[in-house]
Amino acid sequence: MSPQDRATRVRLIEAARRMNASGINQGRSGNVSVRVEGGFLVTPTGVPYESLNPPDLVFMREDGQREGTYNPSSEWRLHRDIYVNRPEAGAVVHTHSPYATSIACLRKPIPAFHYEVAFVGGIDIRCAEYATFGTQELSDYAIRALEGRRACLLANHGVAALGAELEEAFATAEKVETLARMYWQALQVGEPVILGEDEMAKILERFKTYGRA
Ligand SMILES: [Zn+2]
């Protein structure tokens, strides 16, 4: 996809707006990007998604140059490093969705309290170590926590999710929020039973072929 492709830019803006509608975005904290030829397109900082137009997106080139009127999201390093380290990633969604962020503030992973945790790629959803927002350190910790996973929590911060394309990254970010909410709710009334590694291995095996013809 060319970075100038209008349809791609429109889809990115629609995804950014959908974050507000779905409740996974809080204020202007969320941001979205999509891989294109020569780099990636990312939502700019400080522009409400309602008034965002296709030319307002920032094109971040692989050589570090950027094209656009506005500054990129302050988490552009996180987006860049996911594209560099995860060749399968075609899109990245970053949110401060409330339930997942609440768990991230405990600096704890979401364990296998529900089999759908495997949807994210492993036996738990890890929480990356804490680092100041927008820093290289934050990005480094996130890459580590994302190993073998499609999403992770960011300590005292939020969520990072990736997917082969926009829909998938978005669905994963939403799934993390739903799971975090269920985990939080279960904790209110007792101690959730955590599925064993053998059971999760079985589920992970099933998920490999799930939804495929
Ligand atoms: Zn953030």
* Angle (CA) 205 147 62, round 5°: 125
pLDDT tens across 162-190, in order? 999 999 999 999 999 999 999 999 999 99
CA of 7 to the centre of ligand 1 (A): 26
The answer to whether residue 204 scores a pLDDT higher than 90 is yes
Within 13 A of 130's CA, how many CA atoms are on the CB side? 9
CA of 57 to the centre of ligand 1 (A): 18
The answer to whether residue 212 scores a pLDDT higher than 70 is no
The answer to whether residue 156 scores a pLDDT higher than 70 is yes
Active site residue 191: no
CA of 75 to the centre of ligand 1 (A): 7
Give the integer Cα–Cα distance in Å for 98 and 84: 28
Beta bridge partner(s), residue 158: 154
Nearest in space to 114 (alpha carbons), one of 208, 191, 200: 200
Q: How many Cβ atoms are within 10 Å of 156's Cβ, its own excluded? A: 15
pLDDT, mean over the chain: 94
Specify whether the CB–CB gap between 159 and 169 falls below 8 A. no
Specify whether the CB–CB gap between 49 and 43 falls below 8 A. yes
Sequence-ordered alpha helix ranges (H) in the chain: 6-22, 76-85, 98-105, 136-145, 166-189, 197-209
pLDDT tens across 38-92, in order? 999 999 998 888 899 999 999 999 888 999 999 999 999 999 999 999 999 999 9
pLDDT tens across 4-40, in order? 899 999 999 999 999 888 888 777 778 999 999 999 9
Q: Would you state the pLDDT for residue 80?
A: 97
Q: Ion ligand 1 — residues with CB under 5 Å?
A: 158
Q: Would you state the pLDDT for residue 211?
A: 58
CA of 114 to the centre of ligand 1 (A): 26
pLDDT tens across 90-138, in order? 999 999 999 999 999 999 999 999 999 999 999 999 999 999 999 999 9
Q: Would you state the pLDDT for residue 65?
A: 92
Question: How far is residue 13 from each of residues 49, 129, 170, measured CA to CA in Å?
Answer: 7, 30, 13
Provide mean pLDDT across the span 190-209: 95
Q: Provide CB contacts within 8 A for 104, sequence distance 6+.
A: 127, 153, 154, 155, 156, 157, 158, 159
The answer to whether residue 197 scores a pLDDT higher than 90 is yes
- pLDDT higher for 51 or 195? 195
DSSP 7-36: HHHHHHHHHHHHHHHHT---TT--EEEEEE
Which is the catalytic residue, given 14, 62, 67, 75?
A: 75
- pLDDT higher for 208 or 84? 84
Q: Would you state the pLDDT for residue 213?
A: 47
**φ, ψ for residue 78 (rounded to 5)?**
-60, -45
CA of 31 to the centre of ligand 1 (A): 8
